[in-house]
Amino acid sequence: MFDNEKSKFSESWSLPPEQIEARSFEIIAKLLPEVSHTDHSWPVISRIVHATGDPSIASLVRIHPEAIEAGVNALRAGCPIVADVGMVAAGISRRLADNLGCRLICAIDSPGVAEMARKEGITRSAAAVRALSSILQGAVVAIGNAPTALFALLDAIDGRQPVPALIVGTPVGFVGAAESKGELVRRCESGPPYITVAGTRGGSAVAAAAVNALLRLAAGKDGL
């Protein structure tokens, strides 16, 4: 019995990476029978589930009706991808982004952001949104860590600038995260389109997974 279990384990961890990933998505598809696997949002939902290892998060994903098309079109046009923090940027496939001509920017590391935050008494993430307003126009913006960045972006949009092509807003935590994502859905009902996760859950891995799903779609690797 032990030898059989050991053999099965060895077979699993010795699989090539692409086979492990393929098997993972086969399992995810079986775990989510209520989600249509032919739906245009399936690549995003399945990659978020894959990134978190949690099928229950699928019921919390909120995708604007125009989000997938808007994100894919923007990426195919070589738009910038702006991540709020380094953890989000690190999780996004630089190879796919480079192949599409999309510059990957970590907002919080931009020059002058720390000084602006100190002078204005705001978080560096919020200051980064203000500092990069010209770059955010027409970009895919991925906020996976800081609710303050998402609030700042929504306030800027209310002021008629900037208008990203797509907002991936998945900040995580118990202070402002759920509220910021609720505001994203409320304020952007008529655009710009968004992808988010309701409630306190989310995070950098979720934001990166959503962007990677769109990059794969834009590159013709998953449908569309």
Q: Which residues contact 80 (CB under 8 A, 6 or more apart)?
A: 102, 103, 104, 105, 135, 138, 139, 140
Distances (CA, A) of 178 to 11, 36, 155, 196: 41, 26, 17, 10
Residue 37: active-site member: no
Name 62's bridge partners: 196
**Annotated catalytic residue, options 37, 40, 50, 64:** 50
| Secondary structure letter of residue 103 according to DSSP | P
Give dist(CA 194, CA 104) in Å, integer.
19
Angle between helices 124-131 and 113-120 (to 10 degrees): 110
Q: Which residues pair with 140 in a beta bridge?
A: 81, 166
Residues tagged active-site: 50
